[in-house]
Chains A and B, each alone.
Chain A
């Protein structure tokens, strides 16, 4: 699990409480190419979590970050989604280690 701290972008500070899963990081801190599993979608206000859940961003879903500029684009299971940064702040992801990624053949 030594690779996980590297996933933090040290420049960005994320306000608010820590996620329940200590190893989870916000989606917004990931760079393109990172893979992970969604562990928590934090409900902030007016149904944002509902919309994400409806689109398949649920705990357990696997995702790959495709690009982070101008918007954050990621593939979540079979769905390609684009979100703005503030939304990505509320999605917490546990990164896959290199070994996990190796046996993850079916991910595009």
Chain B
């Protein structure tokens, strides 16, 4: 992933994408530069949260971090989404991305109006489009990977340890039990998904794998798969991402982001479940 991003950067493509997206991002209180963290978020939201430092004002950084956590699926999630929904139908995939993108736009639009502060102006120097040099690309990739290993991996370890401790202490089961009525009632999902969603918060990729197993053993209908994946994509990402948010923006902001995103994810999932069922949609 760092290699592909490096290729796009060195070719001069990303700044052009930034011009193209400037207008859309402006509606969300950002400017075109925010396209870089968003594209990186498709690889790993934790890493992308760090790159929001390139944005001009604290307000922009906060909105970008919020949108990354809310809507941008990381590569582990993308793989699950494609793996599960790709086998169901294109309409299922389109529904998920439509809902997630719509929700991101809505939340960004609201955040731009609710949060205090300013948007920075879009002034960007454009490098010429050229074929990247392999040597530069490799150096860049190596440095990025080292940086990533140093900054993000310890957070993943913390997440895994937390998962282990919670599991051993039986807290995981308690949380899953507490969430079960919401999961089965509001979201219309099988009870086993409750634990998967909780695990998905601690380690997004674990949750993804759990859901994958569930879908493969035929325990999820098409609608259930769409709802479960939508909730998971919207849900606050893994613990590593949360810790990174805390490091970038402080504990209060980190908790506030979780406090905002969790209800959004659950209610969007509930609404989607209701709408799909009322319309009698079968994927």
Contact = CB atoms under 8 A, between A and B. Distances in A.
Interface in B12-66: 15, 18-20, 22-23, 26, 31-32
12 contacts: A48-B123, A70-B22, A70-B23, A71-B20, A73-B19, A80-B126, A80-B127, A81-B123, A81-B126, A82-B123, A84-B122, A87-B123
B167 interface: no
B151 interface: no
B121 A82 contact: no
Q: Is chain B's interface secondary structure helix, strand, loop, or mixed overall?
A: mixed
B124 A82 contact: yes
Contacts of B15: 82
Nearest to A44: B121
B118 A73 contact: no
Interface size class of B (residues with CB under 8 A): 10 to 19
A71 B22 contact: yes
Given A46-B118, A73-B19, A84-B22, A51 B125 contact: no
A48 B23 CA distance: 19
Q: Is chain A's interface secondary structure helix, strand, loop, or mixed overall?
A: mixed
A51 B120 CA distance: 11
B19 A70 contact: yes
Nearest to A48: B121
Given A79-B125, A81-B125, A82-B15, 14 more contacts: A46-B120, A48-B121, A70-B20, A71-B23, A80-B125, A80-B128, A81-B123, A82-B19, A82-B32, A82-B123, A82-B124, A83-B122, A83-B124, A87-B123
Interface in B119-160: 120-128
Interface of A: 46, 48, 51-52, 55, 70-71, 73, 79-84, 86-87
Interface of B: 15, 18-20, 22-23, 26, 31-32, 118, 120-128
Nearest to A86: B121
A69 B135 CA distance: 35
Given A70-B19, A71-B32, A73-B19, A82 B118 contact: no
A84 B121 contact: yes
